[in-house]
């Protein structure tokens, strides 16, 4: 069907989207696609009568998106979609029609939903003059799960790359990256038999020395909160004891432990020592393959804490500069100096740590690709075993979002930054091993973890691919119970508020153990 020439970027900033789809499932699919195109776009759903009225009397500044199922045969998934708007007083209609083949797990309705997203991806590309996202129509945090699903069916990697481009409109670079990451993860994924007896532990410590500009995680300043900290740690010890007892009763073993937050190392030395000892003693066994601590802020890491972690069996830590530009660190509320990062890194080496991760963020306010290159050069001299590259996400609840003082970096700029990071990581011998995406990310891009072969963070793989149960302890921690038979995931969450966690702990522990009981009792039947 003929398509009108693209409008490119010549569109009013006050544009409003109108949606008309007779089928609710196609309407929701179109909303999903529009959110990828414009996360903050305003849109209105039209009734059939309003749709007809608009066609007769279109309004300037409004863009109408409509569609319907239109397969050539009853069992063939296909759709027709259109995008209409006024340009220079004349109604312009862009239309596309498409049929698709069903994927192994799709019914006809699911294939039609995917079809309508593909059509809208093309129409919005025509309208904008550029693709909505290099990730095509893929949405969600864990795109690698799709590749694992295809690998489970025995499809070769080359066919999977082609399918990602055709069935999901990924550009070739993203299809290649996604497939590479999934293939790297395969040896680490839990089998169904392993998922019946091995779990991972996450411990959330909701305290920080200060709140970073971009942070939306539940965290509380430690200064002046000594009493609340003591109450929290007492509650956490009780939760650890309850979960440890459950594990003993059901023969469960811990494969990985991850202490995150917040900033766990912001705790005073004595409390930190007791915390890591309690966790190590509760969950260490011959099956434990990894014990990680998100040390994070260099200004909270001391030689005493480094030795404490080594004595408790911690074998992987993160030291996170985010940037090595001091002006950027001041702006985002991280009050360490770049040279502190280097000093603490060397102290960690002297303490015996041979698996150190470093985080950085692409797209921080005011930064350019030259700033990222400077950061990479300084990090590169330290030679960490892994590098996690985050794309800045302007999240609700963060000071970055609430202040309204900063705008997201342009997508091309952030893509350049990610390219520099990928190139540097590979030049250090690191390979991509885990990947995830988030809402509100600059350029609609991704976060990627790179590691030396053999130094991959197993917990990161397990939490992203959801083939092993993760038991969350502490404030805001999520428990994800994976049924070994069908890999269905059921979740429950501890409260974000520390006072609620302390006061209502018994009820939250009971819910968690009931969920785990249901999953790990069914495996014995």
Q: What is the spatial distance between Cα 267 and Cα 289, in angstroms, rounded to a whole number?
A: 25
Which two three-digit tokens encode residue 189? 């994924």
Q: Which of 349, 299, 348, 293 is nearest to 317 (CA)?
A: 293
This prediction has a pTM of 0.92
Domain presence at residue 411: yes
Query: Do 160 and 58 have their domain in common?
Result: no
Q: What are the pLDDT digits (tens) for 231-261?
A: 999 999 999 999 999 999 999 999 999 999 8
Helix, strand, coil abundance in the chain, percent, nearest 5: 45, 20, 35
pLDDT for 415 equals: 94
Q: Which of 415, 360, 420, 347 is nearest to 386 (CA)?
A: 360
Please give the tally of structural domains in the chain.
4
Q: What is the spatial distance between Cα 287 and Cα 419, in angstroms, rounded to a whole number?
A: 38
Query: Do 52 and 139 have their domain in common?
Result: no
CA–chain centroid gap for 178, Å, is: 14
Q: What is the spatial distance between Cα 239 and Cα 517, in angstroms, rounded to a whole number?
A: 16
Domain presence at residue 306: no
pLDDT for 475 equals: 95
Query: Do 116 and 7 have their domain in common?
Result: yes
Query: Do 435 and 382 have their domain in common?
Result: yes
Tell me which of 420, 454, 488 is where a domain ends.
Answer: 454
Q: What is the spatial distance between Cα 19 and Cα 29, in angstroms, rounded to a whole number?
A: 11
Domain presence at residue 309: no
Those residues whose C-beta lies under 8 Å from the C-beta of residue 502, and which sit 6 or more positions away, are: 228, 231, 232, 235
Q: What are the pLDDT digits (tens) for 372-431?
A: 999 999 999 999 999 999 998 865 555 555 555 666 678 899 999 999 999 999 999 999
pLDDT for 349 equals: 99
CATH code of residue 336? 3.30.750.200
Query: Do 485 and 386 have their domain in common?
Result: no
Tell me which of 411, 435, 454 is where a domain ends.
Answer: 454
Domain presence at residue 316: no
With vertex at residue 309, the alpha carbon angle to CA 307 and CA 311, rounded to the nearest 5 degrees, is 70
pLDDT for 214 equals: 54
Query: Do 205 and 165 have their domain in common?
Result: no
CATH code of residue 50? 3.40.50
DSSP letter at 187 equals: G
Query: Do 127 and 20 have their domain in common?
Result: yes
Query: Do 53 and 127 have their domain in common?
Result: yes
Domain presence at residue 317: no
H or E stretch including 445?
Answer: none
Query: Do 95 and 5 have their domain in common?
Result: yes
Beta-strand relationship, 78-87 and 90-99:
antiparallel
- For the sheet with 470-474, list strands across it: 431-436, 447-451, 386-391, 356-362, 316-319, 290-296, 253-261, 198-205, 470-474, 478-482, 489-493
Domain presence at residue 278: yes
Which two three-digit tokens encode residue 267? 């705790």
Domain presence at residue 216: yes
Tell me which of 132, 147, 162 is where a domain ends.
Answer: 132
pLDDT for 213 equals: 60
Query: Do 350 and 263 have their domain in common?
Result: no
Q: Which residues pair with 138 in a beta bridge?
A: none
Sequential pLDDT tens for the chain (525 residues): 333 333 334 444 457 899 999 999 999 999 988 887 777 777 899 999 999 999 999 999 899 999 999 988 878 899 999 999 998 889 999 999 999 999 999 999 999 999 999 999 999 888 877 666 899 999 889 999 999 999 999 999 999 999 999 999 999 999 999 999 999 999 999 999 999 999 999 999 999 887 666 566 656 777 778 899 999 999 999 999 999 999 999 999 999 999 998 899 999 999 999 999 999 999 999 999 999 999 988 999 999 999 999 999 999 999 999 999 999 998 888 888 999 999 999 999 999 999 999 999 999 989 999 999 999 999 999 999 999 999 988 655 555 555 556 666 788 999 999 999 999 999 999 999 999 998 777 778 999 999 999 999 999 999 999 999 999 999 999 999 999 999 999 999 999 999 999 999 999 999 999 999 999 987 444
Domain range for 291 is 190-298+460-525
Query: Do 182 and 143 have their domain in common?
Result: yes
pLDDT for 128 equals: 77
Domain presence at residue 314: no
Query: Do 224 and 283 have their domain in common?
Result: yes
pLDDT for 11 equals: 44
pLDDT for 1 equals: 31
């Amino acid at each position: 069907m003929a398509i009108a020439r693209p409008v490119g970027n010549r569109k009013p900033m006050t544009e409003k989207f109108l949606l008309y789809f007779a089928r609710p499932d196609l309407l929701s699919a179109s909303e999903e696609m529009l959110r990828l195109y414009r996360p903050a776009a305003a849109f209105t759903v039209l009734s059939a009568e309003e749709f007809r009225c608009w066609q007769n009397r279109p309004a300037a500044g409004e863009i109408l998106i409509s569609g319907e199922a239109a397969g050539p045969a009853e069992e063939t998934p296909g759709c027709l979609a259109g995008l209409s708007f006024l340009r220079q007083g004349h109604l312009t209609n862009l239309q596309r029609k498409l049929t698709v083949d069903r994927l192994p797990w799709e019914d006809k309705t699911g294939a039609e939903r995917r079809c309508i997203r593909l059509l809208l991806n093309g129409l919005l590309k025509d309208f904008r003059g550029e693709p909505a996202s290099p990730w095509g129509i893929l949405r969600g945090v864990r795109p690698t799960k799709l590749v694992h699903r295809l690998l489970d069916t025995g499809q070769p990697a080359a066919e999977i790359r082609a399918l990602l481009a055709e069935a999901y409109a990924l550009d070739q670079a993203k299809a290649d990256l996604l497939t590479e990451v999934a293939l790297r993860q395969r040896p680490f994924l839990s089998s169904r038999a392993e998922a019946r007896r091995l779990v991972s532990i996450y411990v959330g410590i909701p305290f920080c020395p200060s709140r970073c500009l971009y942070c939306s995680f539940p965290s509380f300043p430690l200064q002046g909160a000594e009493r609340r900290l003591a109450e929290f740690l007492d509650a956490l010890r009780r939760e650890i004891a309850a979960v440890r007892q459950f594990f003993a009763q059901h023969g469960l073993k811990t494969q990985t432990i991850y202490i995150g937050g917040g900033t766990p190392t912001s705790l005073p030395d004595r409390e930190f020592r007791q915390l890591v000892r309690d966790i190590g003693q509760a969950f260490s066994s011959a099956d434990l393959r990894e014990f990680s601590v998100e040390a994070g802020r260099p200004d909270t890491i001391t030689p005493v804490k480094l030795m404490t972690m080594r004595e408790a069996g911690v074998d992987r830590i993160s030291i996170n500069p985010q940037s090595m530009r001091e002006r950027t660190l001041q702006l985002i509320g991280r009050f360490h100096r770049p040279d502190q990062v280097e000093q603490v890194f060397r102290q960690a080496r002297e303490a015996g740590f041979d698996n150190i991760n470093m985080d950085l963020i692409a797209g921080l306010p005011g930064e350019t690709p030259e700033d990222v290159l400077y950061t990479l050069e300084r990090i590169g001299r330290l030679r960490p075993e892994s590098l996690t590259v985050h794309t800045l996400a302007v999240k609700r609840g963060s000071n970055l979002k609430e202040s309204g003082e900063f705008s997201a970096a342009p997508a091309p700029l952030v893509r350049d930054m990610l390219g520099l990071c990928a190139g540097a990581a590979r030049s250090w011998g690191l390979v991509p091993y885990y990947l995830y995406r988030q809402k509100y990310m600059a350029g609609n891009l991704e976060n990627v973890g790179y590691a030396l072969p053999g130094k991959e963070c197993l917990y990161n793989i397990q939490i992203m691919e959801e083939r092993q149960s993760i038991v969350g302890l502490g404030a805001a921690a999520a428990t994800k119970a994976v049924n070994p038979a069908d890999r269905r995931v059921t979740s429950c969450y501890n409260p974000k508020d520390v006072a609620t966690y302390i006061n209502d702990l018994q009820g939250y522990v009971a819910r968690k153990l009931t969920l785990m009981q249901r999953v790990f009792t069914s495996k014995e039947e």
